[in-house]
Amino acid sequence: MPDGAAAASMRAMNKLITGLLATVALFGAGTATASAQMSEWGEDEAVNVVATSGSMKIVDEETFGANEVKTFNLAGTKFGTIGGWSPWPRAFNTTISRCAGGEVRGELHVKADAQTSPRTVWLEAYVYLYEGTSCSTTDFDGYSEHLHFHLDPGQSITKTFKTTNMAEGAGDSVTATVTFSAQPIL
């Protein structure tokens, strides 16, 4: 058993260690709070949502002769700019339209909304198919599943959308595969 001076020294040491541990815990909590705050949009922070790669393939089934097939490159397509605060928009809604065979139109719809905490972009994307007598037809004949996903700044994700002509049972189709990327604006 330690004598009086040694016991006092050990109590002082225990008190010092307890204080150091409390300080480390306090700084650790402060760091977690700072990280959470950093995950929110800065006033001058925004991202461009772009297709780093992608294509849209449209098939116009023909009763007589060969089907007309066109594949469109979507790489480099900018869907919109989004940020957490003014002057950046908080949302966008973009439609990319392509046509094959003079009568089958595919549309890729991309909707986005900035979530402020945590800092992320929520997206909804899908394709529509129109088939009629021209590329400007309003005869809506098919749609893909509406996919919902999010991107953090600097993140990319690949999604595929497909629909056929549901109204007339024809072999017309639209397939789009897109790698979406949220590229920070510096």
| Mean pLDDT of the 106-133 span | 92
Pair 74, 13 in one domain? no
**Domain count across the chain:** 2
Q: pLDDT for 67-84, tens place per residue?
A: 999 999 999 999 999 987
Q: Where are the alpha helices (DSSP H) in the chain?
A: 4-38
- The verdict on 125 and 54 lying in the same domain is yes
My answer on whether 106 and 123 are in the same domain is yes
5 falls in which pLDDT band (50, 70, 90)? low
Q: Are residues 69 and 34 in the same domain?
A: no
Report residue 50's pLDDT band, with 50, 70 and 90 as the boundaries.
very high
Smallest CA-to-CA distance from 125 within 152, 145, 153 is with 145
Whether residue 65 is found in the same domain as residue 104:
yes
C-alpha of 131 from chain center: 29
pTM score, two decimals? 0.77
- Domain match, 81 and 170 both: yes
> Residue 58 in contact with residue 106, Cβ under 8 Å?
yes
Confidence band (pLDDT; 50, 70, 90) for 89? Answer: confident
Determine the structural domain holding residue 77 and report its residue range: 46-184
Same domain, 94 and 172: yes
Residues 26 and 116 in one domain: no
pLDDT band with cut points at 50, 70 and 90 for residue 38: very low
Look up residue 49 and give its DSSP letter.
Answer: E
Residue 64 and residue 126 in one domain: yes
The two counts, helices (H) then strands (E), for the chain are 1, 10
Same domain, 149 and 92: yes
Asked whether residue 75 falls in the same domain as residue 157, the answer is yes
Count the helix, strand and coil residues of the chain and give each as a percent rounded to the nearest 5.
Answer: 20, 50, 30
Give the residue with greater pLDDT, 159 vs 20: 159
Query: How far is the CA of 52 from the CAs of 70, 79, 95, 149, in angstroms?
Result: 20, 11, 17, 17
Q: Is the domain of 29 the same as that of 67?
A: no
State the pLDDT confidence band at 148, using cuts at 50, 70 and 90: very high
